[in-house]
């Protein structure tokens, strides 16, 4: 059973525009969430995190929003750049335990 879902396998966005990547989860015990970026044949690179006590966390061009009632989080990238093209994974955990990953969304930023 997939506890973390990313329903969009791919997304294309024009350079300079906003990229919005979505993630849904089913386990109400999850209280810590991460977004990772992954290039082919490389390990994941941590992007941004959010704990359940917040509903928004911002780091430069990256903002993560958490809607606990809807069990939904999203990653906004503004403005999108060609170097942002990669696969993005969201992950969730109950503090101290393993992370559950979504299946990833492949983002392509078109110059």
Partner 1 sequence: GAVVSQHPSRVICKSGTSVKIECRSLDFQATTMFWYRQFPKQSLMLMATSNEGSKATYEQGVEKDKFLINHASLTLSTLTVTSAHPEDSSFYICSARDPGSFTDTQYFGPGTRLTVL
Q: What is d(CA 20, CA 66) in angstroms, rounded to the nearest whole number?
A: 13
- Peptide linkage before 72 cis (omega within 30 of 0): no
Select 79 or 108, whichever has its Cβ closest to partner 1: 108
CB of 19 vs partner 1, minimal distance in Å: 20
CB of 16 vs partner 1, minimal distance in Å: 29
Q: Give contact residues for partner 1 (rule: CB under 8 A).
A: 2, 4, 32, 34, 36, 41-46, 49, 51, 89, 95-96, 98-104
């Amino acid at each position: 059973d997939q506890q973390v879902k990313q329903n969009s396998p791919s997304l294309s966005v024009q350079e300079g525009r906003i990229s919005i990547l979505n993630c849904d989860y089913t386990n109400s015990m999850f209280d810590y969430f991460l977004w990772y970026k992954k290039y082919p044949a490389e390990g994941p690179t941590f992007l941004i995190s959010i704990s359940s006590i917040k509903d928004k966390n911002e780091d430069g061009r990256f903002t993560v929003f958490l809607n606990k009632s809807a069990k939904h989080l999203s990653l906004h990238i503004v403005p999108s750049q060609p170097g942002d093209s990669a696969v993005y994974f969201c992950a969730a955990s109950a503090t101290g335990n393993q992370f559950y990953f979504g299946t990833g969304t492949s983002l392509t930023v078109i110059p």
